Amino acid sequence: MNYSDTIQILVEKRVADGYGGFEVTETTVATLKCRVAPYRVQSGDVYKVPNPTASVKIFVPGLPFDEDTVFIVVYKGKRHRKLAVSNLGKVSMIIAERI
């Protein structure tokens, strides 16, 4: 498989601010070579209001962390939140939704 694109994996860390809330800091965990399938737009309804969502499938040769980790994918300057991760043997597939 030709891994011609690159993505960045960001992990959010929440630090207490001392006032009952928290501050969110994002750190870059990895920059991976990947192959991206064409995205799809799904039109869902939230209380009878159209709510289109765009999701993308990203194929990477391997993930440097656990599949249960919550992370954000940055692809071509656009941020996507991880929905699912599947291990397909030699490659892993990340399904991410645009945020």
Q: What is the pLDDT of residues 39-95, one digit of tens each?
A: 777 766 666 666 667 788 999 998 887 778 889 999 989 999 998 899 888 899 999
Q: Count how many domains the chain has.
A: 1
Residue 46 confidence (pLDDT): 60
* 83 close to 55: Cβ distance less than 8 angstroms: yes
* 43 close to 63: Cβ distance less than 8 angstroms: no
Which is nearest to 79 in space by CA: 87, 71, 67?
71
What global pTM score does this model have?
Answer: 0.78
Q: How far apart are the first and last CA of the chain?
A: 28
| 5-50 confidence digits (pLDDT tens) | 999 999 988 889 889 899 989 999 989 999 998 777 776 666 666 6
Q: How far is residue 69's CA from residue 41's CA, in Å, rounded to a whole number?
A: 25
The domain that holds 52 is classified in CATH as 2.40.10.270
Q: How far is residue 46's CA from residue 82's CA, in Å, rounded to a whole number?
A: 21
Residue 51 confidence (pLDDT): 64
Q: Which domain holds residue 60?
A: 5-98
Q: Residue 2: exposed, middle, or buried by beta-carbon count in 10 A (0-12, 13-18, 19+)?
A: exposed
Residue 72 confidence (pLDDT): 93
